[in-house]
Amino acid sequence: MSKLRGYLSSCLLLCSLVVGAQGGERYFFHFGPSLTVGNTFVGGVTSVSSPNITGTHHVEPMLSTLWGFPNPQYSFFQNLGRKIHMGFQYERFFNDRHALVTGFELGGRGYIIRSELSSDYVVSYRTISLPLYYSRSLWNGSFWSVRGNIGGHLLYASTIPDVVDAVLVLEKKRTVTPQAFAGIELVHRSFSAPFSFEFAYTHGRKNLIKHSYLALDYVTPVAIQSNGSALHFTVKYLLHEKRYPSKAVDLTGYVQTRYDELVFRNIKEPVKLQVPGDTLEICLSDDQTQDGDSIAIEFNNKLIQKDLLVTAAGTCFKLILEPGKPNTLIVHALNEGKIPPNTCLIKVIYGDKTKDIRLRSDLKNSGAIQFTR
């Protein structure tokens, strides 16, 4: 219990340290199957031979979804917990790249004993885990993004006292232990309430169970050990997302913070425009309802407008194109105003010609124009 209090205190401390950071929070429901590994007989072996007619016995990993269902010994939710792990997660994200995740998870671990000349046995034990890990965006594409997750779980495991066919003795034991955790998460970016899919591994170093196997000679029991290590496939469903509004602070610090986020936005397919000269004028305005849209403008990988309010009156500035390559103007949304998404009319003036281009941006996708000579 003292370990649990220490773990929860650490969670609260870390969350309080970042409460002032810009970003937001997400709430997830998650579920999926698991494959328990790290099960052995005493001595670390996975096979033992019997001196009598029962033959050789093997301890094998157990895939949770293959375990018999339902088992009349257990309630519906106990059976379900042994088939899949499930729970809720809270994510505090600081920007589109960094996040801290915690929550709780119910489920089970287990193992299979296969014998050459007798029945096979499938055994499971209950688990409750509290995750705490750091998540970082590794790659962003048009429809998918990849996140790396690393941290730990605090795992509580318990078994039920029972004897299985006078072969397996499952003594009552409760264990609380930390486990290392690492995973890769694939996030679909096109849904308003997106799914994500995670492949993860939790590694334990402490024996969680007190089980004895009697089938070797039915006299001298052989201990079975499990450290609770497991491979997980998890489906996460986003229940709710809340983004904190940007604070009105000094422009220099504000833009640097925002730009750290902007470089990870998805850039839409740019509108292509061929111009004859190396200088052109850009006039940017809101040709619809002025609703407080603010934008940052990037040109050839440089931030040229830091925090620009899109107004009906408009703002004009000149661009000098770099010869011999396409020149890209990107409009990043700093908010979505009162009427999402963030929209603006860009009037491109080159020579005696004028071209009107309307761009739409949001907090994940940025509109762009590509100029070529």
Query: pLDDT tens for residues 249-266?
Result: 333 333 443 556 777 788
Distances (CA, A) of 102 to 17, 81, 88, 204, 353: 15, 20, 9, 19, 56
- Which of residues 179, 211, 243 is at a domain's end? 243
Averaged confidence pLDDT in the chain = 80
The verdict on 231 and 294 lying in the same domain is: no
298 shares its domain with 225:
no
Instruction: Give the tens place of pLDDT for each residue, 144-154.
Output: 789 999 999 99
Q: Are residues 194 and 270 in the same domain?
A: no
pLDDT of 233 reads 95
Q: Same domain for 31 and 151?
A: yes
- Rounded distance, CA 210 to CA 168, Å? 11
Identify whether the C-beta of residue 59 lies closer than 8 Å to the C-beta of residue 168.
no
266: CATH:
2.60.40
Q: Are residues 229 and 272 in the same domain?
A: no
pTM: 0.61
**Of the ranges 46-60, 158-172, 248-262, which one carries the lowest mean pLDDT score?**
248-262
Q: What is the pLDDT of residues 95-127, one digit of tens each?
A: 767 899 999 999 888 898 888 877 788 888 889
Domain check: are 83 and 197 in the same one?
yes
pLDDT surpassing 60 at residue 248: no
Q: What is the CATH number of the domain that holds 39?
A: 2.40.160.20
Residues 8-33: pLDDT tens digits?
Answer: 444 444 443 443 445 678 899 999 99
Strand order across the 211-213 sheet: 39-41, 222-226, 211-213, 168-170, 162-164
- Residues listed for the chain: 373
What's the total number of domains in the chain?
2
Return the half-sphere exposure (C-beta side, CA atoms, 13 A cut-off) of residue 275: 31
Domain span holding position 290: 251-372
- Which pLDDT does position 84 carry in this prediction? 85
Same domain, 214 and 278: no
Give me the phi and psi of 2, to 5 degrees please.
-65, -35
Is 3 in contact with 154 (CB distance < 8 Å)?
yes
At residue 305, the pLDDT reads 82
| 166 vs 152, more confident | 152
Same domain, yes or no: 197 and 283: no
Q: Which of 217, 243, 269 is the last residue of a domain?
A: 243
| 124 and 6 within one domain | yes
Residue 367 has pLDDT above 70, yes or no: yes
Asked whether the beta carbons of 147 and 138 are under 8 A apart, the reply is yes
Which tens digits make up the pLDDT trace of 262-289?
777 888 999 999 888 888 888 888 867 6
Report pLDDT for 362. 85
